[in-house]
């Protein structure tokens, strides 16, 4: 097992990794910028190192500074959490070249599955269905037009190295293709350092279902059930729950088999999630593989009582998984709301200061947040995740409905009211809903 881990992230995910390390008896190093030296994640770590000025590009994305901090403080491994550098093959390779273990998939897995068109080709060759789309990343809108002429509209235009809904756009006619392509290129370059784009057929009224898995270095794959993340606004996930409701007979087992096939096709190791779109008839299509701990991982942990972050650390340390496929039992139902800072469409994103914060509690409630009074929030940051677990979906939903009014965040506009409306809506209560339900309801 590792002796000391540097956590190359901030906020609630840094706290989540820190807790897992503490339970494993592993010391932690937090990185911080000049502006958040006193942030919660920095204060609670065993050590903290400032790696640069406030801008993420100068601190949390500053690879030389992060590696220097890890080496100077005697770390033997780096955990990237999710977001920022978590899916960067270049960062993982830089860690390994510096003699540091990267807690996550191997470099080649990050690069294979991070290239979305290439990932599609790999899993399709292995027998997993994908939607029609561009076989290669596209650098020119003329190439996108040729694909559109071949497969038709509507299309989904996406950054080739993207994730998290960044830069996605639905195109319903030829006139809208060029603007959407430009947005995807710009966001891809800004967020992921890659301006290539790919397009695929857009599936209307589909559900977003993802399979959670973890694999060790002996290629033993353990599945931890599925999550339904269909409640989205403009393709950004708001609510995740598991197990998925009312899947047609046999589809759950087929999804699990397809996820295993996708992981085996690249010899995947560590924690990951395979995402699918499922239509009304139960046909499903591979979207992508997330080569990291998912934001929604707590749903799977609540259902299986497996600590995914700890398992990922063990695998990276060369240890076998502590669980076997037959040990995994999905119990009850879990629903999680992801609460964001809000900014009106088209408005600037001014920084705002948190004046009050109170997290809810109660039986079956789990809250993930690093928010404190005095914190400065900008843009559409995730402020908190509130999860409820119950024996039945009805019980989990009742607990979550009771918990959300207890969540107090003052000084920052949030989408908390939207979450309450979603939980109270008869469509959601009756479930399931599709990915565009919230945009059209």
- Split into its structural domains, the chain has a count of 3
Per-residue pLDDT at 171: 85
Per-residue pLDDT at 314: 95
Mean pLDDT of 418-427: 96
DSSP state of 190: I
Tens of pLDDT along 42-97? 999 999 999 999 888 999 999 999 999 999 999 999 999 998 999 999 999 999 99
Do 226 and 318 belong to one domain?
Answer: yes
Q: Which of 162, 184, 201 is the last residue of a domain?
A: 201
Query: Of the residues 185, 292, 314, 338, which is catalytic?
Result: 292
**Of all residues in the chain, what percent carry a pLDDT higher than 70?**
96
DSSP state letters, 348-417: ----EE--EEE---STTEEEE----TT-EE-TT-EEEEEEEEESSHHHHHHHHHHHGGG-EEESS-BSHH
Do 413 and 280 belong to one domain?
Answer: yes
Max mean pLDDT among 43-52, 245-254, 319-328, 344-353 falls in 43-52
Do 279 and 319 belong to one domain?
Answer: yes
CB-based contacts of 187: which residues, under 8 Å, 6+ apart? 159, 162, 166, 167
Q: Are strands 356-358 and 376-377 parallel, antiparallel or unpaired?
A: unpaired
In a domain, 225, yes or no: yes
Confidence label for 162 from pLDDT (cuts 50, 70 and 90): low
Confidence label for 127 from pLDDT (cuts 50, 70 and 90): very high
Say how far apart CA 25 and CA 3 lie, in whole Å. Answer: 8
DSSP state of 85: T
Per-residue pLDDT at 441: 61
Mean pLDDT of 239-252: 93
Q: At what angle do helices 11-24 and 308-316 cross, to 10 degrees?
A: 70
Whether 347 has a pLDDT exceeding 60, the answer reads: no
Do 189 and 222 belong to one domain?
Answer: no
Per-residue pLDDT at 161: 66
Look up 292 and say whether it is catalytic.
yes
Per-residue pLDDT at 346: 47
Q: Which residue has the higher pLDDT, 104 or 182?
A: 104
Do 187 and 223 belong to one domain?
Answer: no
In a domain, 123, yes or no: no
Do 405 and 292 belong to one domain?
Answer: yes
pTM to 2 decimal places = 0.91
Do 235 and 318 belong to one domain?
Answer: yes
For residues 332 and 391, the answer to whether their CB atoms sit within 8 Å is yes
Whether 345 has a pLDDT exceeding 60, the answer reads: no
Tens of pLDDT along 380-400? 788 999 999 999 999 999 999
Whether 108 has a pLDDT exceeding 80, the answer reads: yes
User: The CATH number of the domain where 8 resides is what?
Assistant: 3.40.50.20
Do 244 and 168 belong to one domain?
Answer: no
Per-residue pLDDT at 244: 96
In a domain, 115, yes or no: no
Mean pLDDT of 365-376: 94
Per-residue pLDDT at 22: 97
Whether 231 has a pLDDT exceeding 70, the answer reads: yes
Tens of pLDDT along 178-220? 888 888 888 877 766 777 888 888 888 899 999 999 999 888 9
Do 232 and 98 belong to one domain?
Answer: no
How far is CA 245 from its chain centroid?
A: 21
Which backbone phi and psi does 66 adopt, to 5 degrees?
-65, -45
Do 197 and 212 belong to one domain?
Answer: no
Domain that holds residue 231: 207-440
DSSP state of 422: H
Mean pLDDT of 298-313: 97
Confidence label for 343 from pLDDT (cuts 50, 70 and 90): low
């Amino acid at each position: 097992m590792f002796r000391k881990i540097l956590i190359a992230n901030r906020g609630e995910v840094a706290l989540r990794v820190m807790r897992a390390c503490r339970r494993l008896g592993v010391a932690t190093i937090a990185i911080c910028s000049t502006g958040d030296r006193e942030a919660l994640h920095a204060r609670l770590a065993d050590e903290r190192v400032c790696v640069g000025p406030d801008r993420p590009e100068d601190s949390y994305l500053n690879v030389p500074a992060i590696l220097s901090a890890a080496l100077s403080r005697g770390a033997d491994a780096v955990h990237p959490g999710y977001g920022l550098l978590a899916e960067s093959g270049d960062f993982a390779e830089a860690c390994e070249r510096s003699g540091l273990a990267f807690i996550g998939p191997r470099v080649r897995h990050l690069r294979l599955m991070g290239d979305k068109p290439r990932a599609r080709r790999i899993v399709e060759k292995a027998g997993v269905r994908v939607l029609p789309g561009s076989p290669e990343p596209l650098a020119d809108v003329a190439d996108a037009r040729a694909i559109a002429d071949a497969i038709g509209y509507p299309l989904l235009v996406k950054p080739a190295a993207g994730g998290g809904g960044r830069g996605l756009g639905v195109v319903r006619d030829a006139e809208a293709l060029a603007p959407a392509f430009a947005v995807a290129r710009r966001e891809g370059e800004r967020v992921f350092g890659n301006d290539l784009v790919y397009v695929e057929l857009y599936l209307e009224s589909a559900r977003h279902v993802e399979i959670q898995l973890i694999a060790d270095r002996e290629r033993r794959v353990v599945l931890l059930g599925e999550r339904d993340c269909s409640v989205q606004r403009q393709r950004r996930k708001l609510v995740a729950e598991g197990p998925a409701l009312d899947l047609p007979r046999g589809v759950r087992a087929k999804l699990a088999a397809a996820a295993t096939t996708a992981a085996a096709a690249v010899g995947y190791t560590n924690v990951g999630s395979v995402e699918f779109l499922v239509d009304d008839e139960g046909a499903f299509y591979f979207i992508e593989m997330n080569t990291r701990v998912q934001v929604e991982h707590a749903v799977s942990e609540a259902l299986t009582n497996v600590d995914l972050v700890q398992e990922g650390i063990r695998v990276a340390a060369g240890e076998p998984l502590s669980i076997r496929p037959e040990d995994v039992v999905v119990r009850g139902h879990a629903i999680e709301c992801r609460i964001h800072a809000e900014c009106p469409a088209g408005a600037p994103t001014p920084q705002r200061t948190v004046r009050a914060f109170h997290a809810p509690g109660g039986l079956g409630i789990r809250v993930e947040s690093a928010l404190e009074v005095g914190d400065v929030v900008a843009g559409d940051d995730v402020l908190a995740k509130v999860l409820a677990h119950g024996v039945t979906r009805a019980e989990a939903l009742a607990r979550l409905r009771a918990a959300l009014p207890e969540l107090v965040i003052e000084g920052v506009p949030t989408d908390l009211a939207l979450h309450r409306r979603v939980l109270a809506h008869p469509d959601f209560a009756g479930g399931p809903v599709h990915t565009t339900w919230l945009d059209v309801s």
